């Protein structure tokens, strides 16, 4: 029996757009609720959300049993942390703040078993191999890992072509908020120079045959990014959705006008 098929990776290979949602509450219960909303993937956020390894593991377990695919964003791209998440059943990773091809090459090795990488052989103790019940896990696990790297600085844009050309990188994700900040537009990811940089990055990523990803909580921006060719995209977070729903419920009862303004992407 081989490792479980990664449906998200398969969809990207087939050119099927994948719609997602951010999980930043750090709650397995909230993750289970989100599973019922029909998103193709749910991002378990360990970078900004309050999730440690046990909480991320519990959320992976909750999402993996649903029709949505769990993507994990660790707080950083350290091999030891990625190793633990792999053994807990994570197959798709979104790694933040990747700026060089050397970083990207190290991450490719971190998610693969020797001789192609440095992943430790211990998945029999974890969910990844159904606790040792998947007999051919070691021979097939590498093929089902999907590695997505975040491009969110000017330095990363400078090195984008080298990173995108690297074998083992499945997709590149533009982080609009951090990119905007690095370009001198803090809190303004919708600024024209930032949007132009994103459009140019999408074209370069596509030229290397890799998937293009992005996130926003603004519907107009989401439709623009999709029109620009986004292959996978998150259109909200559990946090912002909860805030909007709770604030909206109170305003509706009191007859208050909806709050204005836009929330930046992540």
Burial 186-218 (b: 16+ CB within 10 A, else e): eebbbeeebbebbeebbebbbeeebbbbbbbbb
Q: Does the annotation count 48 as an active-site position?
A: yes
The residues, any chain, with a CB within 8 Å of residue 189's CB and separated by 6 or more, are 176, 177, 179, 180, 216, 264, 265
* Class of residue 146 by CB neighbours under 10 A (exposed 0-12, middle 13-18, buried 19+): buried
- Tokens 């499945």 — which residue? 170
The residues, any chain, with a CB within 8 Å of residue 217's CB and separated by 6 or more, are 235, 236, 237, 240, 263, 264, 265, 266
Q: How far is CA 179 from its chain centroid?
A: 16
User: Rounded to whole angstroms, how far apart are CA atoms 105 and 107?
Assistant: 5
* Given 48, 116, 206, 208, the catalytic residue: 48
Active site residues: 48
């Amino acid at each position: 029996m081989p490792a479980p098929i990664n449906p998200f990776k398969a969809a990207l290979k087939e050119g099927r757009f994948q719609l997602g949602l951010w999980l930043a509450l750090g709650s397995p219960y909230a993750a289970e609720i989100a599973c019922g909303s029909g998103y193709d993937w749910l991002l378990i956020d360990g970078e900004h959300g309050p999730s440690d390894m046990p909480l991320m593991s519990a959320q992976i377990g909750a999402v993996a049993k649903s029709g949505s695919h769990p993507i994990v964003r660790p707080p950083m791209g350290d091999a030891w942390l990625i190793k633990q998440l792999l053994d807990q059943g994570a197959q798709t990773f979104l790694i933040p703040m990747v700026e060089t091809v050397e970083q990207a090459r190290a991450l490719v090795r971190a998610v693969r078993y020797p001789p192609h990488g440095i992943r430790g052989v211990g998945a029999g103790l974890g969910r990844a191999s159904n606790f040792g019940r998947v007999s051919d896990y070691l021979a097939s696990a590498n093929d089902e890992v999907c590695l997505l790297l975040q491009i969110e600085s000017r330095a990363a844009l400078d090195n984008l072509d080298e990173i995108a050309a690297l074998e083992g990188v499945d997709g590149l994700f533009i982080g609009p908020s951090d990119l905007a900040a690095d370009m001198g537009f803090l809190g303004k990811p919708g600024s024209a120079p930032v949007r132009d940089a994103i459009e140019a990055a999408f074209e370069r990523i596509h030229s290397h045959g890799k998937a293009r990803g992005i996130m926003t909580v603004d519907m107009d921006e989401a439709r623009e990014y999709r029109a620009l060719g986004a292959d996978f995209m998150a259109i909200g977070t559990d946090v912002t959705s909860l805030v909007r729903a709770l604030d909206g419920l109170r305003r509706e009862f009191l007859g208050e006008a909806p709050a204005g303004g836009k929330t930046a992407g992540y």
